[in-house]
């Protein structure tokens, strides 16, 4: 019998296709999300806030924008975006809303594709 083994090399890799909000004022982009959505090709994220739905929209771009947040890239762990000023502006307490969020893709007119997460208190799963 012939075998076709592949070496497992994903030790300590975050294989979640979700977006996270951290207690340290950041958006986390786990490795699976990062790879599946080609985040390595982008330099900035532009954020949007829908107060009535408590939803954050994230648009990734490589075009420099005065309102864009830099993406911190890590080949092993995915990406991270520090969003302290955004959270403070909209009174979003990361200690209350930290956790893992499923996302939906949405086409925002005049912007293009954004990733939307709806905030929930204590959403850590």
**Residue 50 Cα distances to 43, 54, 55, 95, angstroms:** 24, 6, 5, 20
Query: What is the pTM for the complete model shown?
Result: 0.85
Residue 2 lies in a domain: no
Closest CA to 13 of 26, 2, 29, 27: 29
* The predicted structure's pLDDT at residue 56: 97
Q: Which domain holds residue 28?
A: 19-118
Residue 10 lies in a domain: no
Residue 125 lies in a domain: no
* The predicted structure's pLDDT at residue 11: 60
Residue 37 lies in a domain: yes
* The predicted structure's pLDDT at residue 105: 96
> How many domains, in total, are found in the chain?
1
Residue 110 lies in a domain: yes
Residue 5 lies in a domain: no
Tens-digit pLDDT string for the chain (125 aa): 787 777 766 665 556 689 999 999 999 999 889 999 999 999 999 999 999 999 999 999 999 989 999 999 997 789 999 999 999 999 999 999 999 999 999 999 999 999 999 999 865 55
Residue 7 lies in a domain: no
């Amino acid at each position: 019998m012939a075998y076709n083994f592949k070496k497992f090399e994903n030790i300590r890799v975050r294989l979640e296709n979700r977006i996270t909000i951290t207690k340290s004022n950041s958006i986390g982009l786990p490795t699976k999300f990062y790879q599946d959505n080609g985040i390595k090709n982008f330099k900035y994220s532009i954020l949007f806030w829908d107060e009535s739905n408590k939803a954050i929209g994230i648009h990734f771009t490589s075009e420099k924008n005065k309102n864009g947040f830099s993406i911190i890239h890590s080949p092993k762990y995915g990406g991270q975006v520090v969003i302290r000023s955004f959270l403070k502006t909209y009174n979003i307490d990361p200690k209350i809303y930290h956790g893992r969020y499923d996302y939906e893709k949405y086409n925002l007119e005049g912007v293009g594709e954004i990733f939307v997460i709806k905030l929930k208190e204590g959403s850590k799963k």
